[in-house]
Amino acid sequence: MVDLVGQLLEFEFMRNAFVAGAAVALLAGVTGYFVVLRGETYAGHTLSVVGFPGAAGAVLVGVPQLVGLVAVCAASSLGIAALGRVTWERHGQSAAIGSIQAFALGLGFLFTSLYHGLLNGVTGILFGSVLGISQAQVIGLIVIAALVLAVMALIGRPFLYLSVDPEAASSAGVPVGTISIAFLLLLGLSVAATTLITGALLVFAMLVLPAAAAQQLTTRPAAGIAISVVLGLAIVWLSLSVAFFLSDYPIGFFVTTFGLVLYLGCRGVRRLRP
């Protein structure tokens, strides 16, 4: 066992990946909790799809991928905020959102075809890759995690109030608009960070599944957020380890598989409990 762990941590890219995975589990666990609570999972998915041309465009013009992801995801969260939450939710599965997603994916594909070297890396951007995590990206992820968690600590309590009972919160003087926009920005940052590990198409597995599983187990927010982070950590570290030993196979498959199994398991546990 110790031997296996030794092998896992022998290479620098794996140490980077484990630290990056921990940062992502922390980010996705905390923001994902609110995403599931507010029923905004589709917004998270759309943000990650829109991140794809950001990452591909960044490679095309020679900027770090994470920078492109953060820029595009943050800009798109502001766009969603501008459209207004009501419009957004109402159009949750409408033709407009489908069109925007398809166009974003097509744009990303255009960038990858303009930059020929990336054509093999496109599956990495879409479905995640362990080998790609550099020291600089780890530092970037830690900075993002620190920033998001600091703001989250600041707005956490009023935001929870607002998510559970918006009308009461508003009449109690909670600045609803400001906090909602701040959260969307944090969500954009978290999605950008998660994309580095899971790829643009599988963000759902890290952002939604740990939080949804946690909400099956407890209704208390603090405990739920803690469980969500721990489950996220378990999913990402387990996936990294398996992907290391079965290096022919992609990490995206393991992340989605472990996420789905954990979520269904937690649902089962709730069913069994009296």
Partner 1 sequence: MTGPLLWLQAMLAHEFIRDAFLAGTGVALASGLSGYFLVLRNQVFAADALSHVAFTGALAALAFGLSEIGGLLAATLFVAVILSVLTTGTRSGDVVIGAVFAWILGLGVLFLSIYVSGRSGGAGANGTAGVNVLFGSIFGVSPSQALLGAGLGAGVAAGMVAIARPLLFASLDGDAAMASGVPVRWLGLVFLMLVAVVAAQAVQVVGAMLMLGLMATPAAIAQRLTMRPYAGMLLSAAAAIAAVWVGITLSFAVPHLPPSFAVIGLLFGAYVALAGAAALRRT
Mark the segment that binds partner 1 (CB under 8 A) among 101-109, 146-154, 165-173, 224-232. 101-109
Mark the segment that binds partner 1 (CB under 8 A) among 15-23, 109-117, 132-140, 187-195. 109-117
What is the nearest approach in angstroms of partner 1 to the Cβ of residue 263?
6
- Judged by CB under 8 A, the chain residues 190 through 209 that form the site for partner 1 are 201-202, 204-205, 208-209
Residue 59 touching partner 1 (CB under 8 A): no
- Which of 67, 107, 131, 151 touches partner 1 by CB under 8 A? 107
Residue with Cβ nearer partner 1 (99 or 178): 99
Residue 109 touching partner 1 (CB under 8 A): yes
Residue with Cβ nearer partner 1 (112 or 195): 112
Residue with Cβ nearer partner 1 (84 or 98): 98
Identify residue 14 by its one-letter amino acid code: M
- The structure tokens listed for 252 are 């995206």
Identify residue 66 by its one-letter amino acid code: L
Residue 218 touching partner 1 (CB under 8 A): no
- Which of 42, 78, 142, 149 touches partner 1 by CB under 8 A? 42
- Which of 114, 143, 146, 153 touches partner 1 by CB under 8 A? 114
- Judged by CB under 8 A, the chain residues 233 through 252 that form the site for partner 1 are 248-250, 252
Residue with Cβ nearer partner 1 (144 or 206): 206
Q: Which of 187, 186, 192, 193 is nearest to 138 (CA)?
A: 193
Identify residue 204 by its one-letter amino acid code: F
Where along the sequence are the contacts to partner 1 (CB under 8 A)?
Answer: 36, 39-42, 45, 92-103, 105-107, 109-110, 112-114, 119-123, 126-127, 201-202, 204-205, 208-209, 212, 248-250, 252-257, 259-260, 263
